[in-house]
Amino acid sequence: MKKFILATAFIFGMIGLDAQSVTVLVGSSPFQDSLWTVDTTTLQIKRRLSPTPSSGGTITGMTALTKDPSNGDLYIVCKQSATTGRTLGKLNLLTGVVTIIGNLGDNFSSLTFTSNARLFGATGDGAAVPEALYSIDKTNATKTLIKNMGSGADGEVICANPDDNNMLYHWSGNGTVVFEKFDTLTGPYTPTNIPIIGTTNGETFGAVYMGNNKFWISNISSTFNRINANGTWGAQFGSNPDDLRGLAFMTCSRAITGNASFCTGGSTLLTHGSSTAGATYQWFLNGASIVGATTQTYTATAAGHYNCLVSDECTSNDSSGVGINVIVNPLPVVSVSATASSFCAGDSTQVAANAPSGTYQWYQDGVLIPGATTSPFTITSGGVFNMICTDVNGCSDSSATGVTVTVNPLPVVSVSATASSFCAGDSTQVAANAPSGTYQWYQDGVLIPGATTSPFTITSGGVFNMICTDVNGCSDSSATGTTVIVNPLPVVDLGNDTTVCGSLVLDAGNAGSTYLWSDSTTAQTLTVSATGNYSVTVTDTNGCASSASIGYTAGVIPSVTLFGDTSQCGGSIVLDAGNAGSTYLWIDSTTAQTLTVSTSGIYSVVVTSADGCTDSDTVNVTINTPPTVSASAASTTVCQDDANVTLTGTPAGGTFSGPGVTGNSFDPSIGTGTQALTYSFTDGNGCSGSAGINITVNACVGIIEQQNISTVSIYPKKLKKRRSIS
C-alpha cells in the first residue's frame, strides 16, 4: 500500500461544495482488497474498506467502479478467490459488503453509466475478448457486445459524458495514450480522436465525470489529473494510496436542518443530513457530547451550538460542517382589555391586546374566532376573550387571564292600552310591562315630549310604543306597539233656529245609531209642531255621542177659503181671501185682499201671513149671461068683459104671472084698471129674466066708441059667458 501525501490545490479548482456537505472520491484497488475514500477538497484519506462478497470468500481486487445516476448505487467488478472471470456486484460503501449480481465471464477493466442509467463495460487486454464494449444488464450481469474498440496495449478505461450526448470517452495505452470518444450504438467502431494537450503521466487507470466537460482521472503513477473533453491535461496532483482502477464521486450531507430557533418551553427537531442505513451519530452541544443523542435526529430544548459526529458512506467520525446555532426566543408578553366590561345585546364593544408586533388570533371561551386577527377587535357576544400573539420569531402566547365581557339582555317590554279606541275629545291610557328604568313613549315612531311615565294618558290615536332603558343602560321597546284608534264623534246638525209653517221633521242622521230626544223619544227623526227648543243626543256604534238643539217657532198659517166653485147669472162676484193683515197674490197678480170678477174662469190666490206662512185656494167662477126676456099680449087694452087676452113670452117656456093670468092668457074680468103682468123665464143655467106687460081693462058699458076692431067680445049679463061676434 502506498502512503498518501496531501497535494496542493487543484490547478483547475475543486468541485464546488459547501461546508454543509462532503464529497469524497471512491477508488478501488485492482491488486488488493482495498476501497479508498478521499476528501476531494483536502485530498485526505477518509476511509479504507476491505470489501467482502455477499456470496462468501474473499475479494482480491476490484478492476472497475461506477455510480448509477438514477439512484446513487455503486457497481463494482470484483476478482474473487476461487472464481473464474470477473463478477458484477453492488457495493454498500458504509459496510463494505458487495452484493454479487453475477459473473461477467471475462476480464472487465472499466464500467460507466450513461445519464439514462444504462450500464456499459470495457474488457482489458487480457480478456478473452479484449478491448470490447459491452452493454451490461445491471440486474443479472448479462452482457451484450456492442463493438470492438481495439486501441492501445494497456488501459481500456471508458467514461460517459452526459453533456456530450452521452458519448463514451475512451482512454487506452500506456507509453502513448490514446484519447477518443464514440457513441454507444451497435455497429462499426468509428471513434473521434481527441488530441492530447499536456502530459498524461502514463496509463489511465480510472476516470469519473466531474461536469462541465471535465474528467477526474487516476493514472499508473498513483496520481490524479483533471482533463477537459477537448484533451487538455492538467498538472498531476496528489499521491494516491494505491493504484485506483475505478473512480466514483459520493456526496454526503453534513447539513443540520431544523428550525434554528424555538420558543421558550418548546423545542426544535434537528436532523443530520439524509438517512443512511448503518450510519452512526453523536450529537454535541457547545462542544460537549450529549448523552444518548446517537440518532440521525435530535430534539433540542436548550440554546447553543449543535454539531454531530457521523460515520457514513463518505467518512468516519466526521463532524457536521459549521453545525447550527439554536436560539431560544422568549414568549411574547400579552395583556388584553375590553373597552367596556359589559354591553347590551345587539350592540358591540371592542377587545384589545397590548402585545408586540406579530400575528394575532382571538379566542372566545377558548374557541378560536374565525377572522379575528386584529387589535382592537369588535365583539358582539359575551364570554372570556383572550388573544394569542405570534411574534416575529414565531413564538406564541396569550394573556395569563382573559378579559370577561358580559352581554346584558335587553329589557323585555310589552305595551297595552286601557282601551283600543276612544271617542274624539276623550282620552285613554297606555301602559308598559317593563323592568325598572327610564321610559320614553313614542307615537307612530315619533318621540312624545314629556311622555316618560307608565301609564301615560293619550288624547290622540296612533301606534304607541315605549323604549325602556334599564339599570344596565340597555334599551328596547315592545316588538310591536299597541294601536289606539280615536273614533270621530257623530256629526249631528238639526240646523239653525227656524220658524216653520206647519210641523217640522227633525232628522238626527247617523243611521244605525241610538237617539234620545228632549221629549224622550228614541227615533232618528222627530216631528214637531209646537213652538219650543228641541234637542237630541246621538250615540253611534262606537259609543261616541254628540248632541244638537234647535229652536222651533210654529208660524201662523193663513186659512184661505174662497168657497166652492160657484156660478151666477151675470153681474160680478167679489172673491175675498180673508186673513186681514196678510199679503196676497191673485192669479192676475193683483194683491188686494179681494178680487172682483165678472167673467168666468179659474181664480186662485196665495196668502202669506206675517210669519211667512202661506196658504192658497182656487175657485172656478162661472158668470152666465142672463136670458133676454120679452112679453106681449094680444091686446093691451081690453074691456072687462072681453075675452081672455093671449099672452106671448120669449124665450118660450117661461111663465106669466099677475092678476087674471092663467097660463098664457089674461082674463080681463079680473077687474078694470091697468093690470101689470110679468113673464118670467129661467134658462138652463138657472138664469132668469122677466118682462112686464101692462094691460088696461076698461069697463066698456054700451057702445060709445068706435074702433076698428076685428073681434068684439060680448058678455051677456046674465050668462056671464063670452061670445065672439065677427
Helix H, strand E, coil C: the string for 433-455 is ECCCCEEEEEECCEECCCCCCCC
- Name the nearest CA neighbour of 478 among 492, 465, 490: 465
CATH topology classification for 335-408: Immunoglobulin-like (2.60.40)
What is the Cα–Cα distance from 359 to 329, expressed in whole angstroms? 16
List of E strands, 212-300: 214-219, 224-228, 246-253, 256-257, 261-263, 268-272, 280-285, 288-289, 297-300
What is the Cα–Cα distance from 494 to 512, expressed in whole angstroms? 17
Output DSSP code: residue 644.
P
Give backbone dihedrals phi and psi of 86, rounded to 5 degrees, phi first.
-110, 145
Amino acid 277: pLDDT: 80
Residue type, 619: V
What is the Cα–Cα distance from 80 to 62, expressed in whole angstroms? 9
What is the Cα–Cα distance from 362 to 373, expressed in whole angstroms? 6
Give backbone dihedrals phi and psi of 570, rounded to 5 degrees, phi first.
65, 180
Would you state the torsion angle of the CA atoms of residues 350, 353, 357, 362, taken in this order, to the nearest 10 degrees? -70
| pTM, entire model | 0.52
Domain residue ranges of the chain, discontinuous segments joined by +: 22-251, 256-329, 335-408, 414-487, 498-555, 566-624, 630-725
CATH topology classification for 256-329: Immunoglobulin-like (2.60.40)
- Name the nearest CA neighbour of 211 among 16, 22, 19, 348: 16
Same fold, 414-487 and 566-624: yes
What is the Cα–Cα distance from 159 to 169, expressed in whole angstroms? 5
Provide the grid cell at 319.
463532524
What is the Cα–Cα distance from 334 to 423, expressed in whole angstroms? 67
Q: How many CA atoms lie within 13 A of 274 on its CB side?
A: 7
Amino acid 9: pLDDT: 28
Amino acid 7: pLDDT: 29
What is the Cα–Cα distance from 563 to 584, expressed in whole angstroms? 17
Average pLDDT across each block of 10 residues of the chain; the chain has 726 residues. List them in order. Answer: 30 39 89 89 87 91 95 95 90 93 94 96 90 96 91 77 94 87 87 93 91 93 92 89 89 88 94 84 94 96 94 76 89 95 95 95 97 96 96 91 95 95 96 95 96 96 96 92 95 93 92 96 94 96 95 90 87 90 93 92 92 90 92 92 92 92 92 92 90 93 53 48 47
CATH classification (class only), 22-251: mainly beta
| Distance from the Cα of residue 220 to its chain's centroid | 89
Burial class (CB in 10 A: 0-12, 13-18, 19+), 526: buried
CATH node for 630-725 = 2.60.40
CATH topology classification for 566-624: Immunoglobulin-like (2.60.40)
CATH node for 414-487 = 2.60.40.10
Going from the C-alpha of 241 to that of each of 41, 63, 64, 174, the distances in angstroms are: 16, 16, 17, 20
| HEC sequence for 110-160 | EEEECCCCCEEEEECCCCCCCCEEEEECCCCCCEEEEEECCCCCCEEEEEE
